[in-house]
Amino acid sequence: MPTSLSLPQPQRQGGATLTVVLDRRTSCREFASEPLTSEALGQCLWAAQGRNAHGRRTAPSAGALYPLEVYVLTPQAVERYDPAIHRLIHHLQRDLRRELASAALGQMFLAAAPVTIVLCAVFERVAVRYGKQRGERYTLMEIGHAAQNVLLQAEALGLGSVAVGAFDDAEVQALLELPAGHIPLYLLPIGHPGPDS
């Protein structure tokens, strides 16, 4: 059974207002070498797919079918986020950030970011109820909601991030040894902004 790592409980009150965060949000492609705290990482993962006060996910999901899987690259490992227990489940024990940057068409800021969240879609989870075409549409809408949650949460924490969609899907899937059907759609590098950001 894979090992897991608990995360600090997410903060559910306080912080910057949504209006302020929307006003400040910008894309960041230069990251300082300072690592993220476990609190900041946990907060960003909770924003992506954590359980809210209603026991649902923080991002809306068609039919509450939850077709998203969340992976995290750090300098130490690749982990999978389990939103049901707010824990990281060990996936791979190596630093793949440089290889990920290469698979993302040479966007080397991905190698410098202390964390990259990889949002994957499992289209079949929604297709069984809504059919292939409509299921794909709903899944793409959901992954957009989740990505925006992460971007806004990062900004609220004073961190930098950017949405990356330019990468070789098959290469990323193979590099991260993702299960069949876990299709990577978004890369979200997160870190403290560099001095020229």
pLDDT (tens digit per residue) in 153-175: 999 999 999 999 999 999 999 99
Given a cut of 80, is residue 26 above it in pLDDT?
Answer: yes
CATH number reported for the structural domain that contains residue 94 in this entry: 3.40.109.10
**Does 197 fall in a domain?**
no
**Does 94 fall in a domain?**
yes
pLDDT tens readout for residues 85-129: 999 999 999 999 999 999 999 999 999 999 999 999 999 999 999
pLDDT of residue 15: 87
How many helices (DSSP H) and strands (DSSP E) are in the chain? 7, 7
Q: How far apart are CA 145 and CA 32, in angstroms?
A: 27
Bridge-based pairing of strands 68-73 and 78-82 is: antiparallel
pLDDT of residue 4: 83
**Does 26 fall in a domain?**
no
Q: How far apart are CA 68 and CA 131, in angstroms?
A: 17
Q: How far apart are CA 184 and CA 122, in angstroms?
A: 9
Given a cut of 60, is residue 1 above it in pLDDT?
Answer: no
Encoded tokens for 109 = 């800021």
**Does 162 fall in a domain?**
yes
Q: How far apart are CA 67 and CA 7, in angstroms?
A: 22
Encoded tokens for 191 = 């870190």
Q: Is 106:172 a contact under the CB 8 Å cutoff?
A: no
Domain that holds residue 175: 34-191
pLDDT of residue 195: 86
Q: How many domains does the chain have?
A: 1
**Does 21 fall in a domain?**
no
